[in-house]
Every structure is written in C-alpha cells, then in structure tokens.
Amino acid sequence: MNTNDVPSPVRILVAVTASLGVAALAIRLPDIPTWERGDVFAVLLLAAGTLIAERFSIPLRHGTEIVNFALSDAVWAAGLLLVRPSVLTVAVLLGVTLGQVSQRRAPYKIAFNVGQFLVGITVAEALFGVLGGGSITDSWTWTLAFVAMGGCFVVNASSIVLVVSLMEHKRFIDVLVPPLHINVLHWAGNMVLGILAAVAWSTSAAAIVLLAAPIALSFAAYRVRVASVKERNDWRRMYEAGTYLSGPLGKRPDFQPFARLLEDILQAEAVELIVVEDEQVTVHGSRHKHTFRVIEGDPSSVDTLVSVRVGSTPTPQIALIGDEEQMHGVIAVYREAPLDERDSALLDNLAGQIALRLRNHRLFGETLEQARLAQIIGHTADGIFTVAPDGTVASWNPAMELITGCHRDRAIGRLCEEVLGPRMAETIASLPIAPTGDAKASDSLVERPDGSLRWLRVRAQSIRDHEHAARSIVVVAHDVTAEVQAEQLKHDFVSLVSHELRTPLTPLKGFLRSLLDGIVEDAPEARQEYYRIMLRQTERLERLIGDLLDVSQIESGNLLIEPKQIELGYLVRRQVGDFERQHSDRVRFHGPGAPLLVYADAMRVEQVLSNLISNALKYSPRETAIEVSVGSADGKAVVAVQDRGPGITEAEQERIFERFYRSDTATAGRTNGVGLGLFIARNLIDAMSGELAVSSELGDGSTFAFTLPLSYATSKSGRAASERSARVKAATA
Ligand code: ADP
C-alpha cells in the first residue's frame, strides 16, 4: 500500500508511537557511556537473535495488515533476565530495525514497529525493575520476568490491534478477540523459551544448544497453525468469490469486491481485473474503477490505456481471462513474491470462472436484447427485413408480409429481386447505406400477388453481426401508398378542376364579348342560339360547382339528405321525359306495373339518375338506345340504366366509383367530366340506405342499377335514413 493511502488517524498513531519510541530510547542514552565490552557483546548477540527471529517470522494477514508470529520476544525475555535495560533497549532497536529493513517494509511501518517495540520493552524493563527481580536462579525472578514481559505484550498487541482496526474500519474489540487466545499462547510459549534460554545461559552456556529442539518444534507448530488459519480464511474467501460469481446474470458484473477478495487470498499489494468489452476497457481495482474507450484506428485512445497506473509497486503477475477464441481481459496481481504453484492454479481457476461469468453475462444480454428486438420488430407497423451480403433475404417481419402479401417462408432465402421485383431491388441497391443515425429514404413500387401496387418508402442501414465480417443491410419499408395516392389525387384534382372550370368559361366569355362588341348577327334566332349555348355552359359550371360542394360534404360527413315518401315510378318517368325531349329517340322508359313508394330524397334520386343517364348517353354511341327501367325485387325498388356502350373492364368496375377515377376505355377522346359523378351517386344512394352497382361486359354495354328501400316494406331503414338526415341537419346547423 502507498503511504498516501494511509488514513490520517493511522498517520497520527504512527507519529505518536515513533515519538514514544524515541523517548524510550532517550531514557537509556545516559547509561550507554558506562557500557563495558561484555555489554557491547550482549547488544550484538541480542540484536542478532532479534534479527534472526524477525527474518523467520510467520506472517498472518489481517485484511491489508500483516501480523507476524516471531520468536523475538523470547530473545527479549532472556535479555530482560540477563542484561542491563539500556543494552536490551538498544538491542531491540538494532534488531527490529535491521529485521524490518531487510524485509523491505514501508518506512512508516518500520517507524511504527520499532517505536512500539521500544515502548513495549521499556514498559517491561520498568515493571521488572519496580517488581524487584532478583537472582536468575530464583524461580520467583522468572515469574517476575514473565509478568514484566506481559506489559510488553499488552503494549505490542494493543498497538497492532489499534492500527488494524483503523485501517480496516473495524471495531477494536472485533480485531482483538478472535486471535487473542492463540496470541497469548504464542507469547506464553515464547516467554518460557526465553526464560529457559536465560537460565541455561547463566548455568552452562553450552546448554543453550539444547533449546534448539523446542525452538524448532514451536516454530513448526506456529507454521502449521498459521497455515491452517490461512487455509480456513482462503476457503471462506473462495466461497465468497464463488457466491459472488454466481450472482444474478442480468446485473453487469462489478469486480471491485472480487479484486479485494483476491488481494486477501493471494496476499498481494493490489489486484486489478482489466475487462475488455467491445471497445470498452474497465479496470476494476479493490478501491478504484476506471473505464476507457479504445477506438479502432485512434492511437490516442490506446495511449490513455497504456498510461493507466495499474499499481505502484512490483511488476504485475498476470492471468488471462478467457481463451484464444474469446479473450475478455486479464487479472493483474501486484505482489513482491512470485506466485507459487498453488496460487497460480487458484488464480487460473478464478480467471476461468470470471471468463465464464462474463460470457454468460454477454449471452444473457444478447438473448434478452434479441427477444426485445424480436418483439418490437414483430409488432411494428413498418416493414423490416434484412438482406444478407449475398443479396438474399435473411429476415422478414410480419408487417412486411402484410404490405407485400408475401409470406416470410416464401421470402427468406430468396434473392431480394425475386421477392420484391427488379424495380425495388434496384432502389435498395442504390440506397445510401447509413452506418448509424438517419438514413436517406427512397420511394419505389412493389407489386402484390393480387396485382395491386404499393408504394414503399425504404431506408437502409448496415449491420455487422459478431461472426461475419461482411455487413448485412437492414431495410425499413414504410407503406406510403395512401400518401402517394392522396398526393396524386390532389394534383389530379387541381388540374382537372381548373380544366373543367375553364372549358365552359371560354365560350361564355367569347359570346359575352361578341354581344358586347355588337359583332353578333342581329337576327333574333341567332341571339336565341347564343343565349342557349351560354345557358348550357353556365349550367355545366353550376353542375361542376355542385359536384365539388357534394364531394366536400361527403368528405366532411355532412351530406344533406331530406328523405320523404315518394312515388319512384313517377319520378323516374318524369326525368326520362326531360331527357327524351333533348335526345328524342335514344332514352326509353320501362315503368313498374304499380306505384312504387320509397322513402328517399327526391332531389337526390333525380341527381343520381341524371348522372347515370347522362353517362350512358355520353359514353355510348349516338345511334344506340338507353333503357331506363323501374321495378322491385327482394322488397326493394330497383332503377336500372342500360346502355350499349363500350362496357367497363372487371378491374375497373369498382374503381369508377372512386373520386376522380376515369376509365380510359370509355373516356378515350372525351375530356368532358372530372370523375366525380359516380362517386357522389354511390354516396347519395348509400345515405338513402340503398345500393348502387354496375354490371358490364367489355364491348357489350353497361347496366348501372340502384336500389332504394320500399317505404312500406322497410320502414326501419327509412327511419334510419330520416334519423341520419336529422343528424346531418344538426351537424350543419
Ligand atoms: P365522369 O363522367 O365525369 O368521368 P363519373 O364518375 O360519372 O365521371 O364516371 C367515372 C368513369 O366511369 C367515367 O370516366 C367513365 O370512364 C366510366 N363510366 C361511367 N359511366 C359509364 C358508362 N355508362 N359506360 C362506360 N363507362 C362509364
């Protein structure tokens, strides 16, 4: 750990401990000049003993701090019984400092350890002095040394517990209690060894060799004990790591706590997991997390990554997360000692688990996204399909089936051109492919299996799947047939209506000018003829304007119908009579045997009939007759207008009732008309609860027939019509 990362309470504690250590040393300084050769020898011997004990210490990790099991205090217990306090203090100073430096401890740790040991030994020396330790051969003196060294133990243990609790943000008692019994045992063992060594030394120095056996034994016992504690901790941490890795898949993995666990298990300065996902690199440390974007072809983004300071100390030891097929990143372990076989195996195992976890997370995400996408694509009104790099259709959504009338089973796997026709395939091929964002659209026609045409507005975007380098194209097709038709209709309407308005206006204007300029023949017959022509043209204008008004009423739903009970036979006969007067020999009437009472608007029925008869006259040769008949069938009155004209193709028989639709067959060479008459007629008959239809054979004339409800038979529908009328009136009022 960096000195910079040390929390300030710990820094204060280190400073205080170091100062107390200096003070403890200062007390002994005046005594040093009185030393004899034996004292110097004793200092060197005890310092060497301390150094060796420190070097052979067995570390046991507590989070970020390491507590060492060493035999140092056994050496000091012997020193307490054998040498002057100043000698022991200086030996502790030298031994501990050298031991810590040789283990390359951080300076603040050395300062803290040396400080607290100096204070501890000074407390022990003081206690021993106060209790009045006597001859070394006296067992009472041994007890006193034991008690005095207890003071040293209390100082050492509590200062270490304090520093660990501050570093780990744990309660003092929680750090102190769990290892207390083993620490006390260890200390007591050391004391016995130390006192034994002192007694042996004072009686026969050679006997000290005999102590080698119990020392080696206790060292081995510590090691086993520490190893078992470590193993237990490792298992617990491994279990925690495993639970963590098997957490819920939907959550994006956060490896920060995992890095902390690994630091503990591997006893490393730091552990970092560097995870690569597409262009994103995330460094998860135990206390930090950075995310970078590495963009292909942008060297500066790679520089950012290289300059990441992944750790302050040693070169990292690395384990790969993933395999050659799919690499997810690396685990970097910063630790002085190289990883042994056990640690490496453990690290590789965890790296494998992380790789699995990342792979599962990615798969889960992809599956979820695919399901969501499929739902959206399945329910959208827009057609969406993909074209593989080889030009075949790879996917086809339900909206595409509706728009084109082509089932996905017939579309998928076939060439785009075969499915959508060459025109659309060409449009798609020439579309600008947008990698992201808004793509430019293009309109084109597709033919449905029933022969009808649809206008599609298509946009294309390229997509890249994980496996293939080549890019597919995703095409979004919006059915704009209605828009295109409306646009066309608007255009047709303006040109047709302006043409139709101009046609009668031109002769009207011409005649009026001639009359004004007095350049007309003055004969009354000629004038009469002029007035007749002008009246005809004015009526034509009036009709056209009337038609336009009707269309606007139909479209706004305000068509005005005033139904009454009328006698249909009489009404039709009268109107046929009017036509007969103008076209004496062409129009013939076939009346019903008895009066036919219907519930309808007389004016509107006349309007419809007039349109049908004039169409029949207009679109059939002059020499042919028009038959108009009135009768009844299925409880309805039926009026039919039959001509011997060119007839209407089957495909057009419905279309002629659309606004502005004019058939080429019948209208060839004729410009009179805007294609509104039948549209209005059908809407009027509908509004009077009847039906208007055509039956025709090409080359064999046409029969337009409409029905109206008989007033006695269908009083219900009559009422419906009258209710509608009332509604219409209310709406227009
Ligand atoms: P317009 O007569 O002004 O064109 P209509 O709505 O009355 O408008 O008729 C629509 C079209 O239907 C005509 O343009 C014509 O092509 C066709 N049509 C109508 N009546 C007949 C008929 N009796 N015989 C053949 N075609 C007809």
Q: Which residues, listed in sequence order, are joined to residue 112 by a DSSP beta bridge?
A: none
Residue 561 Cα to ligand 1 midpoint, Å, equals: 24
| pLDDT at res. 470 | 61
Q: Give the residue whose CA is nearest to atom 8 of ligand 1.
A: 675
Name the percent of the chain lying above pLDDT 70.
88
| pLDDT at res. 717 | 45
Which of 615, 644, 679 to mutate to test ligand 1, by most ligand atoms within 8 A of the CB atom?
Answer: 615
Which of 587, 662, 665 to mutate to test ligand 1, by most ligand atoms within 8 A of the CB atom?
Answer: 662
Are 681 and 691 in contact, with CB atoms under 8 Å apart? no
Which SS3 state, helix, strand or coil, does residue 285 take?
strand
| pLDDT at res. 230 | 74
Report, as an integer, the average pLDDT of 54-70: 66
Report, as an integer, the average pLDDT of 527-552: 87
Contact residues for 375 (Cβ-Cβ < 8 A; gap 6+): none
pLDDT above 80 for 2:
no
pLDDT above 80 for 165:
yes
Which SS3 state, helix, strand or coil, does residue 264 take?
helix
- What does the DSSP assignment read for 65-106? EEEEE-SHHHHHHHHHHHS-HHHHHHHHHHHHHHHHHHTT--
Residue 191 Cα to ligand 1 midpoint, Å, equals: 123
Residue 660 Cα to ligand 1 midpoint, Å, equals: 10
| pLDDT at res. 452 | 87
pLDDT above 60 for 406:
yes
pLDDT above 50 for 311:
no
Are 17 and 113 in contact, with CB atoms under 8 Å apart? no
Structure tokens at 406: 């082509």
Contact residues for 731 (Cβ-Cβ < 8 A; gap 6+): 557, 558
| pLDDT at res. 706 | 97
pLDDT above 70 for 120:
yes
Which SS3 state, helix, strand or coil, does residue 658 take?
coil
CA–CA dist 88, 76 (Å, integer): 7
pLDDT above 60 for 310:
no
- Identify the burial level of 142 via C-beta atoms within 10 angstroms of its C-beta, where 0-12 means exposed, 13-18 middle and 19 or more buried: buried
pLDDT band at 68 (very low <50, low <70, confident <90, very high): low
pLDDT above 80 for 669:
no
Report, as an integer, the average pLDDT of 22-31: 95
Which of 624, 655, 656, 704 to mutate to test ligand 1, by most ligand atoms within 8 A of the CB atom?
Answer: 656
Q: Give the residue whose CA is nearest to atom 21 of ligand 1.
A: 615
Residue 671 Cα to ligand 1 midpoint, Å, equals: 11
Q: Which of 61-75, 128-142, 157-171 is the least confident region?
A: 61-75
pLDDT above 80 for 301:
no
pLDDT above 50 for 714:
no
Q: Which of 3-17, 120-134, 246-260 is the least confident region?
A: 246-260
| pLDDT at res. 306 | 47
Q: Which of 27-36, 184-193, 299-308 is the least confident region?
A: 299-308
| pLDDT at res. 5 | 64
| pLDDT at res. 307 | 44
Residue 495 Cα to ligand 1 midpoint, Å, equals: 18
Are 41 and 34 in contact, with CB atoms under 8 Å apart? no
| pLDDT at res. 598 | 94
Q: Which residue has the higher pLDDT, 730 or 97?
A: 97
Q: Which residues line ligand 1 at a C-beta cut-off of 6 Å?
A: 611, 615-616, 619, 643, 645-646, 648, 656, 662-663, 666-667, 673-679, 702
| pLDDT at res. 91 | 96
Report, as an integer, the average pLDDT of 220-249: 76
Which SS3 state, helix, strand or coil, does residue 60 take?
strand
Strand ranges for 365-487 from DSSP E? 383-387, 393-396, 442-447, 453-464, 471-479
| pLDDT at res. 578 | 85
Residue 377: its H or E element: helix 341-379
pLDDT band at 472 (very low <50, low <70, confident <90, very high): confident
Residue 173 Cα to ligand 1 midpoint, Å, equals: 103
Q: Which residues, listed in sequence order, are joined to residue 434 by a DSSP beta bridge?
A: 461
Contact residues for 463 (Cβ-Cβ < 8 A; gap 6+): 386, 471, 472, 473, 474
pLDDT above 70 for 614:
yes
Parallel, antiparallel, or unpaired: how do β-strands 587-590 and 626-633 relate? parallel
Are 272 and 255 in contact, with CB atoms under 8 Å apart? no
CA angle 727, 729, 733 (to 5 degrees): 120
pLDDT tens by residue, 413-455: 999 889 998 888 888 888 776 665 566 788 888 898 888 889 9
CA–CA dist 358, 321 (Å, integer): 9
Report, as an integer, the average pLDDT of 664-685: 79
pLDDT above 70 for 712:
no
pLDDT above 60 for 308:
no
Kindly report the average pLDDT of the chain as a whole number. 84
pLDDT above 50 for 718:
no
Structure tokens at 283: 């460094």
Q: Which of 16-30, 242-256, 521-535, 711-725 is the least confident region?
A: 711-725
Are 604 and 630 in contact, with CB atoms under 8 Å apart? no
Sort residue 271 into left (φ over 0), alpha (ψ -120 to 50) or beta.
beta
| pLDDT at res. 223 | 78
Are 358 and 330 in contact, with CB atoms under 8 Å apart? no
Q: Is the dihedral of CA 484, 485, 490, 493 positive or negative?
A: positive
pLDDT band at 325 (very low <50, low <70, confident <90, very high): confident
Report, as an integer, the average pLDDT of 312-328: 77
Are 388 and 411 in contact, with CB atoms under 8 Å apart? no
Strand ranges for 268-325 from DSSP E? 270-277, 280-285, 289-293, 317-322
pTM to 2 decimals? 0.44
| pLDDT at res. 4 | 57
Report, as an integer, the average pLDDT of 606-621: 92
pLDDT band at 713 (very low <50, low <70, confident <90, very high): very low
pLDDT above 90 for 183:
no
Contact residues for 190 (Cβ-Cβ < 8 A; gap 6+): 71, 73, 74, 77
Residue 51 Cα to ligand 1 midpoint, Å, equals: 118
| pLDDT at res. 705 | 97
Which of 619, 679, 684 to mutate to test ligand 1, by most ligand atoms within 8 A of the CB atom?
Answer: 619
- What does the DSSP assignment read for 320-340? EEE-SSSEEEEEEEE-SSPP-
Using CA atoms of 23, 28, 33, 38 in order, give the dihedral in degrees to the nearest 10.
-140
Q: Which residue has the higher pLDDT, 150 or 473?
A: 150
Q: Is the dihedral of CA 285, 288, 293, 294 positive or negative?
A: negative
Structure tokens at 553: 């009423």
pLDDT tens by residue, 342-361: 888 888 888 888 888 888 88
Q: Give the residue whose CA is nearest to atom 12 of ligand 1.
A: 656
Are 433 and 462 in contact, with CB atoms under 8 Å apart? yes
| pLDDT at res. 389 | 86
CA–CA dist 126, 120 (Å, integer): 10
pLDDT above 80 for 48:
yes
Are 276 and 328 in contact, with CB atoms under 8 Å apart? yes
CA–CA dist 550, 676 (Å, integer): 9
pLDDT above 50 for 716:
no
Q: 321-340: buried (b, 16+ CB within 10 Å) or exposed (e) per residue?
A: bbeeeeebbbbbbbbeeebe
Q: Which of 2-6, 147-151, 360-364, 602-606 is the least confident region?
A: 2-6
Maximum CA extent, the chain: 171
Report, as an integer, the average pLDDT of 206-220: 82
pLDDT above 90 for 642:
yes
pLDDT above 60 for 400:
yes
pLDDT band at 33 (very low <50, low <70, confident <90, very high): very high
Residue 648 Cα to ligand 1 midpoint, Å, equals: 9
Q: Give the residue whose CA is nearest to atom 11 of ligand 1.
A: 662
Structure tokens at 239: 């279990």
pLDDT above 90 for 684:
yes
pLDDT above 90 for 640:
yes
pLDDT tens by residue, 79-105: 999 999 999 999 999 999 999 898 888
Residue 531 Cα to ligand 1 midpoint, Å, equals: 29
| pLDDT at res. 584 | 64
